[in-house]
Structure 1
């Protein structure tokens, strides 16, 4: 099985905001597909916009790090949502989970991409445990999530993160609805076809009202099923385009 992380020089990959990524074309085993027949059936020919709980937690942790606090291009600090985040979580900037992420970012700025790729493979269960989804594996991710799981579970308990997430469900739903009305398979491939050689059977669009300056994609395949994860920014308007994509070799992948 092969899978590739792709973050070319892309301008405005999604949602009408200009984004410049310069990490180049690289391949990492950040996420491995372990798809069930149920997952394949439910997601074939689907573009799904979402704000997953673990993903939003990752962005909140980023906003609390030294990198997130000092960098003016990563976090949307002008929104009421950001103010809500700071009100709830600013007192926890020295929490172990934040310190772990900050340390990884200081070691290598690209580690956040590996971190959020891996977080997509996780969910929180009813006991507030951070557990892997059945569809994905993170064994070869550049970030060692064994270091994070306990710290993240402690963070969500002490900060009441899950209550915060639930309280902002209306905002998340509004953003997701706006994306869902404008995204489709043809529009997705119009953008991804500039970077990959084979069409995907599914696109998962991961959004956050916190982000404004870092977009990337991750191609995952398994059991003959090809899925593209798109990590994008959100603004008031969804627009799937890539008007100034730099010329980079197309990427192939297979099982």
Structure 2
């Protein structure tokens, strides 16, 4: 099954090495803000590129689903990183978290967007469990994360996902650094200006070595602070997995 997202494609602008394609996602209420003064102070007039651990886990879960395996428009399957993901996690394709996500995707293809939006609001706490970040909530997200949270936790533990993520930190860091030098408030607003009516005080560009399509954006407002999450795709395979970053040796962490 190929995921087709029918929302109008409003703008497509190249920011350095990353193509940001807004899909009119401001109609979604997947993530809401409950910003602290600390968050507002730290993020005002800031554009940051990120590869969040929870979203990367979500992309890996998607890659293991039957839907993800059949699709060639969302995932970049031509990189060493994708091959390492498959080598490390293919043995968990029948895990309950993967099966639940696959069932939701078959029922409603747009649930992919709600799923990854919601995962941005999560982090791993000191007990290695999924927990909401202090500054976000997901009360209106269409995905029931009460069902997903224990299954995702179980997947992360049994597959040793967090070890995989940590041991690929050099890959993630290089992608983030390559993108960060290209980003500023003006260029971020230039890419979003046809979708939203006024600039944001903060932009967060969410990246992944796995993604090549299905970009979107999400507007969040709380306590007078406006933030835009931009889930982007890469325009360069070289940036996704640079030849200067060597694949981790013996990367099958399932043993």
Please tell me whether the aligned partners of residues 50 and 206 of structure 1 are also in contact (alpha carbons under 8 angstroms): yes
Show the counterpart of 1:66: 66
- TM-score of the two chains, using structure 1 as the length reference: 0.86
Change (3 A) 1:69 1:20: farther
Please tell me whether the aligned partners of residues 39 and 135 of structure 2 are also in contact (alpha carbons under 8 angstroms): yes
The 3-state SS of whatever aligns with 2:74 is coil
Q: Which runs of 5+ in 1 are unaligned?
A: 1-6, 239-255
For residues 209-243 of structure 1, give each alpha carbon's deviation from its aligned partner in whole angstroms, at most 9, with x where no partner exists: 000011000000000000000001233359xxxxx
Please tell me whether the aligned partners of residues 50 and 207 of structure 1 are also in contact (alpha carbons under 8 angstroms): yes
Show the counterpart of 2:91: 91
Please tell me whether the aligned partners of residues 44 and 201 of structure 1 are also in contact (alpha carbons under 8 angstroms): yes
The 3-state SS of whatever aligns with 1:148 is helix
* Residue-pair matches, total: 231
Please tell me whether the aligned partners of residues 19 and 214 of structure 1 are also in contact (alpha carbons under 8 angstroms): no
Question: How far apart, in 1, do the equivalents of 2:35 and 2:25 lie?
Answer: 25
Where do residues 142-153 of structure 1 align in structure 2 (5 Å cutoff)? 142-153=142-153
CA shift, 1:193, in A, is 0.8
Change (3 A) 1:172 1:18: closer
- TM-score of the two chains, using structure 2 as the length reference: 0.86
Where do residues 97-136 of structure 1 align in structure 2 (5 Å cutoff)? 97-136=97-136
Corresponding position: 1:75 with 2:72:
no
Q: What is the RMSD computed on CA atoms of the aligned residues?
A: 1.9
The 3-state SS of whatever aligns with 1:74 is coil
Question: How far apart, in 2, do the equivalents of 1:43 and 1:85 lie?
Answer: 32
Please tell me whether the aligned partners of residues 16 and 182 of structure 2 are also in contact (alpha carbons under 8 angstroms): no
The structure carrying a bigger helix percent of its residues is 2
Show the counterpart of 2:243: none
Question: How far apart, in 2, do the equivalents of 1:153 and 1:62 lie?
Answer: 15
CA shift, 1:126, in A, is 2.4
Change (3 A) 1:15 1:114: farther
For residues 51-102 of structure 1, give each alpha carbon's deviation from its aligned partner in whole angstroms, at most 9, with x where no partner exists: 0000100100010011110011111000000011001000100101101110
Question: How far apart, in 1, do the equivalents of 2:25 and 2:164 lie?
Answer: 36
Change (3 A) 1:201 1:82: same
For residues 129-184 of structure 1, give each alpha carbon's deviation from its aligned partner in whole angstroms, at most 9, with x where no partner exists: 00000100001101010010000000000000000000000000000001110000
Q: Which runs of 5+ in 2 are unaligned?
A: 1-6, 241-255
Question: How far apart, in 2, do the equivalents of 1:184 and 1:20 lie?
Answer: 17
The 3-state SS of whatever aligns with 2:203 is strand
Show the counterpart of 2:164: 164
CA shift, 1:114, in A, is 0.3
Corresponding position: 1:174 with 2:174:
yes
